[in-house]
A and B are shown apart, each in its own frame.
Chain A
Amino acid sequence: MKAKAAVERIMGSVFFVCGMVTIVAVLGITAYLIISGIPAIREIGLVDFLFGQVWQSTASEPLFGIMPFILTSVYGTLGACLIGVPVGLMTAVFLAKVASPKVAAVVNTAVELLAGIPSVVYGLIGMIVLVPAVMRFFQLKNGTSLFAAIIVLAVMILPSIISVARTALVSVPGEYEEASFALGATKMETIFRVSIPAAKSGIAAGIVLGIGRAIGEAMAVMMVAGNVANMPELFKSVSFLTTAITKEMAYAPTGSLRQQALFSIALVLYVFIMLINTILNAFLKRREKP
């Protein structure tokens, strides 16, 4: 009997420890990024680091300004949303309100598969199909550009936007729509004037989730953006926060200021992501209590 009680206690604490792992992981990641990100910021100076417009990490007098990366990430994400959000929302409307269950099941599978395709595969297609197409269509010397990255990101955030917005649209109470019909509205009028406004926090959550995906994507963007630390221009090679890290990590000597500056970029990216997560949680919470 005593042994049984001991086993009970041990298993109880084992499960408790397992539960703590995620908390420890988040705290650990945060602490690590702060500890390894602060030194370079301190040496370069916060203002020079964040607002400096020139990144020349290999020059004899190196400059570490990450404004080009920040702006590129912001513009790239906004651009991707500009294309991805309307297409995603309309597809969600189709899935939730227009399509018959059978058709919806097929389209839904397509969305799930899009979400599952690895980012390097998106990068590969971007490199082989999109970049040359951009070059020819806009008559550029080089197709690797912010524009190409925006297109790739727009496709990559589609599944997140669609699945969250669809769930939000499906859970709009039927009474709202019935009331709208009773007042003489057509189906499309009902969807666009009643269902979508009623589902707006859920749709917003989907958009924010998409923003998080876009700003954190590294490999696919790496393969199409050109990775030059230019201030963002639609048809110029640019470097995102994520790609700036990926590109130089392999070359920066361990412990150098150059490598430490990369950790600082990661810290900035992390702050962005945490901000986005906070907004996302606010939207999700609002949806829980209508």
Chain B
Amino acid sequence: MRWGVATPSRNKKLSARRRISGGLLKGIVFLCAGVTVALLVGLLGFILYHGLGNINWAFLTTARSALKNTIGIFPNILFTLYIIITALLISLPIGVGASIYLNEYASHKRLARMIEFTAETLTGIPSIIFGLVGYLFFCRMLGLGASILSGALTLVVMVLPIIVRTTQEALKTVPDSYREGAVALGATKWYMIRTIILPSSLDGIVGGCILAIGRIVGESAALIFTAGVGYQLVTNYFQALGTSGGTLSVALYVYVYEQGEFEAGYGIAAILVMIVLLVNFATKLVKKKFKRI
């Protein structure tokens, strides 16, 4: 059992001091857990209560119009999708490849440890640093400017550790007997990886993707300098790659902090919160579904 402390038999002779301090501590523990849950309920309730009313069809399907003085977030939704697609298209193969290297190839223990260490280091680097270096490298040095592509490339580096970790965890659970069986039947290593290892670690890869999507949707500091804050509608994917565009989180920041448009901010916040709920639910679903097989 996870909550492993067995309840000791009641001792009636327990001194008053011990009884009171025990009760007090227990009270504090319950209080703190209550505070944590109350914080979440309060946050979600507040955002959804104020935000849902501001979400309507026009808000979701139009762009901002200075002429009509209306705010619409359709471009921002598209930009968010574009960044997710681009970042995953690049980071998924690299991340899965890296974890396959770590788990199936790396004979050099030191190098493997180095890769794991750097992946952990990347997890700890604040997003503002990614934003700054992304701006210096992708926007300025490679000349991509503030664009969806620059933003996506910056995020590739940010979400890579997530995909490496989840895929690696899944690879570790693939029994060695599968590998031995495949090799004994004459499969080459690549054939074995392609037909045995990758399909059996699909849950980790899918789970990593979902986590990465959650991270990308919530990201703002790394994108504001790399992808910019644009809100013009660009429907062509390849054209959008080259234009500046703010994702939903960036748009929330710009509307609320720089322009004082709180209603639009609430609406976007409610959408973001619902995406967070969805991501959490999907992660649980993936875990459950694949465990049964």
Interface residues of A (CB under 8 A from B): 4, 7-8, 11-12, 14-23, 25-26, 28-29, 32-33, 36, 86-91, 93-101, 104, 106-107, 109-114, 116-125, 127-129, 155, 158, 162, 170, 174, 177-178, 181, 184-192, 195, 212, 215-219, 222-223, 242, 245-246, 249-250, 254, 262-263, 266, 269-270, 273-274, 276-277, 280-281
Contact = CB atoms under 8 A, between A and B. Distances in A.
Contacts of B18: 186, 189
Contacts of A23: 114-115, 118
Interface string B89-125: 0000111111011101110000100110111111011
Contact of A25 (B160, B250, B257, B266): B160
B124 A212 contact: yes
A123 B257 contact: yes
Contacts of A94: 29-30, 32-33
A281 B165 CA distance: 17
Interface of B: 1-8, 11, 14, 18, 21-22, 25-26, 28-33, 35-37, 39-41, 43-44, 46-47, 93-98, 100-102, 104-106, 111, 114-115, 117-122, 124-130, 132-133, 135-137, 140, 157, 160-161, 164, 188-190, 193, 214, 217-221, 224-225, 249-250, 252-253, 256-257, 262, 265-266, 269, 272-273, 276-277, 279-280
A166 B265 CA distance: 34
Contacts of B250: 120
B190 A8 contact: yes
B6 A181 contact: yes
Contacts of B43: 114, 117, 121-122, 125
A90 B32 contact: yes
Given A111-B36, A113-B276, A119 B220 contact: yes
Given A90-B32, A121-B273, A162-B36, A188 B256 contact: no
A229 B20 CA distance: 48
B134 to A, nearest CB: 9
A88 B33 CA distance: 8
A277 B257 contact: no
25 contacts: A11-B190, A15-B101, A15-B105, A18-B93, A19-B101, A22-B160, A87-B36, A94-B30, A94-B32, A97-B4, A98-B26, A106-B37, A114-B36, A114-B39, A116-B218, A120-B252, A120-B256, A123-B257, A125-B43, A129-B46, A174-B4, A186-B8, A190-B8, A266-B128, A280-B124
Contact of A107 (B33, B217, B277): B33
B160 A87 contact: no
B1 A101 contact: yes
Contact of B36 (A7, A91, A96): A91
Contacts of A14: 97
Contact of B106 (A19, A177, A263): A19
B164 to A, nearest CB: 7
What does DSSP make chain A's interface, helix, strand, loop or mixed? helix
A270 B21 contact: no
A16 B115 CA distance: 11
Contact of A188 (B21, B33, B106): B21
A272 B129 CA distance: 12
B94 A21 contact: yes
A178 B7 CA distance: 10
Interface centre among A36, A170, A246 (most CB of B within 10 A): A246
Nearest to A128: B262
* Most-contacted residue by chain A among B100, B218, B249 (CB, 10 A): B218
Given A4-B188, A87-B32, A124 B137 contact: no
A203 to B, nearest CB: 14
A18 B94 contact: yes
A93 B269 contact: no
B276 A96 contact: no
A101 B2 CA distance: 8
B98 A158 contact: no
Contact of B3 (A99, A222, A242): A99
A100 B3 CA distance: 7
A22 B117 CA distance: 9
Which of A20, A217, A276 has most B Cβ within 10 Å? A20
B124 A276 contact: yes
